[in-house]
Amino acid sequence: MKNRVFRLTTILCAVTCLAFCVPAFAKDKVIEGLNSPESVARVGKYLYVSNVGVKLAPNTKDGDGYIAKLDLDGNAVKKDFITGLDAPKGLVEMGNVLYVADIDHLFGFDLKNGEKVFALDLSAEKTVFLNDLAIEDNDHLFISATDINKIFQVDIKTKTYRDVGVTVSGPNGLWYDAKGKYLYVVGFANQNGKASGEVGVVDLSRQPAEYQKIIDRPGFYDGLQPMSEGVFLVSDWVAFEPERGVLIRVNVKNRTFEVIPGAYGGPADFLYFRDKAGLYPPLLYIPRMIDGKLEIRTLK
């Protein structure tokens, strides 16, 4: 009898979890009312969206940046969850702390109440464009500095940082593969008025670290998320105009890519979420930075 009650309780808990953790919408949708949204992070049943501000001024200290808290359907829970930022971009969560890159600082906020609990000043590096974040382990993060072509490793406990030691043209989106010690990176770079960013990888198992380009396709690359083993989804602005941006699927093993149908106004640091149970198709939460919108769509 006890075993049967235990199994029933387990089933009910699973159903309850699905009810709260699975988005309710059945169709793709667009969320309006945001201000130059740049990055999306999912923590449990909530989304956190960084907003650069009313003006698309990603390297300006104007104090109008903020982080909005939404439910999984994109409904506002608290639009002004964290305010007083300048131009917040990349987001990651570690230990119930939401870390955010903002101009020349890395901040951390307690997700329970939105209070600031961490601050690291990187202004000595003469950067005004700290961008994306990636988790290395429980104590370390990687952060890209797009304007100075550098990537730093941050020690959260000691509040120190170091240069990874490679030069990447306009490093933006980051993703770390702990198994192989590979730091994947995409570049948001401009050369003579044309996109020149690359999709590449930093081999951190080597000393010194080594960088390699993966595909021969220049772009204004922004977001980077793994889809499966050796396959990544990458966003490319293409041009600084509405509905010009695209997503591309990159196979890092055979160094090939394909463009996925769709058009976005400045597709920034998106979130790709795959349901491990396979109950619904993979979901994309795409900040359309130029359009001031968040697009939610299924990827079939």
Q: What is the pLDDT along the chain (300 residues), one digit of tens a residue?
A: 444 443 444 444 444 444 445 565 546 899 999 999 999 999 999 999 999 999 999 999 999 999 999 999 999 999 999 999 999 999 999 999 999 999 999 999 999 999 999 999 999 999 999 999 999 999 999 999 999 999 999 999 999 999 999 999 999 999 999 999 999 999 999 999 899 999 999 999 999 999 999 999 999 999 999 999 999 999 999 999 999 999 999 999 999 999 998 899 999 999 999 877 777 788 999 999 999 999 999 887
Question: Cα–Cα distance between 251 and 231 in angstroms, integer?
Answer: 5
Instruction: Say if CB 133 and CB 90 are below 8 A apart.
Output: yes
Neighbouring CB atoms inside 10 A of 210's CB total 13
Question: Which residues, at least 6 apart from 29, have a Cβ–Cβ distance to it below 8 Å?
Answer: 73, 74, 295, 296, 297
Pick from 156, 159, 114, 117: nearest CA to 139: 156
CATH of domain 27-298: 2.130.10.10
Token pair 């990176």 is found at 185
Q: What is the enclosing helix (H) or strand (E) of 46? A: strand 46-51
Question: Cα–Cα distance between 146 and 118 in angstroms, integer?
Answer: 22
Question: Cα–Cα distance between 291 and 220 in angstroms, integer?
Answer: 17
Q: What is the pTM of this model?
A: 0.91
Give CB contacts under 8 A, 24+ apart, made by 16-23: 18/279, 20/45, 21/45, 21/72, 22/72, 22/275, 22/279, 22/280, 23/72, 23/73, 23/280, 23/283, 23/296
Q: What spatial distance separates the first Cα and last Cα of the chain, rounded to whole Å? A: 43
Q: Is the preceding omega at residue 261 within 30 degrees of 0, hence cis?
A: no
Token pair 């590979």 is found at 182
